[in-house]
Amino acid sequence: MGITQCAYAELAVEDLEASLHFHRDVVGMVELGRENGTVSLGCGVDHRCDLVLRNGGTGVRLVALEVESNEDLERYAGRLAERSVAVQRRSDPRAGVADAVCFDSPSGLAIELVLTKEGPAYLNPGQGERRGGIAPIDFDHITLKVPDTEAMVEFLTGVLGFSVSDEMRPAPDVLVAAWTRAGSQHHDIAMFKGPPTQTLHHYALRLESFEHLKQAADRLGAAGVAVETGPGRHSVGGNVYLFFWEPGGNRCEFSAEMPRVGKGPTKVWSELPKAFSAWGATPPPTFAEGS
């Protein structure tokens, strides 16, 4: 019982129509509805929300975490109250969501704990509706930019019950990055230390395989969207990746083969290049940027 996964994220985009066209017609996501200046999109496998776009600026405005029951919502609301964190309850806030508890994290990022409406018990791309475009199968994870990594990690672990899979520490008392998980997937919310003007390093959509990444790169190229780096395999986490900037001004990762984490110590890295690629690739200079 508890938080099971990262359900969706709400992103600010510089050009809503350009970003919507890209996610719908190139990526192959399905428009679920429009309200309060936002557009909700799904991957089309389970008819649930996987991404929300909002016009104006860049970066992440909200992250939604899925829980299993109303009892979970009540329990987390109680934990937040103990920390004097103000919460709001919402019913039917967007497509596929029955109830939500909303609050602000230490970095200022809004978080929703969401109870989704009944749907498929698991994802089976072969049994969904025929989809066009790149056709990701789910929202996978998000990597934030936060001014205080220690405070954010303590909040996620101490209040929301996350675990830390990996850390990056150039010195023992300096935490510059962390990869945290709600369940067994290696990371649901990761973060890099960054300036207050940036909130997002990247959001990730789940693809099925390395072969799917290759097909995605071909479709991006045909659409005139340049690949920033990849395909490759991360050392930290072990998933295969492909990074690019979507037309709304945010970095997106296509991710596949994310491993599951069992019992064991948190792995500590001392520098980004070794953590970035298991194959010896060096992240480009632009990889330090966020939105």
Q: Which domains does the chain have, with CATH numbers?
A: 3-117 (3.10.180.10), 138-285 (3.10.180.10)
The whole-model pTM stands at 0.95
Q: Are 110 and 100 in contact (CB under 8 A)?
A: no
Q: Looking at 113-117, 123-127, 271-275, which range is the least confident one? A: 123-127
Write out pLDDT tens, residues 86-104. 999 988 777 778 889 999 9
Q: What proportions of the chain, in percent to the nearest 5, are helix, strand and coil?
A: 20, 40, 40
pLDDT-above-70 percentage for the chain: 95
Type and span of the H or E element at 157? helix 149-158
Q: Are 65 and 182 in contact (CB under 8 A)?
A: yes
Residue 38: CB atoms within 10 Å: 18
Cα Rg of the chain (Å, integer): 18
| Token reading at 36 | 């309060």
| Token reading at 73 | 């919502």
**Whole-angstrom distance, CA of residue 87 vs CA of residue 61:** 16
Write out pLDDT tens, residues 238-279. 999 999 999 999 999 999 999 999 888 999 999 989 999 999
Q: What is the pLDDT of residue 40?
A: 96
**Backbone φ, ψ for residue 183 (5° rounding):** -120, -125
Q: Chain-wide mean pLDDT for the chain?
A: 93
Please say if the pLDDT value at position 121 is more than 70. Answer: no
Residue with tokens 């996620």: 156
Residue 164: CB atoms within 10 Å: 18
Confidence of residue 236 (pLDDT cuts 50, 70, 90): very high
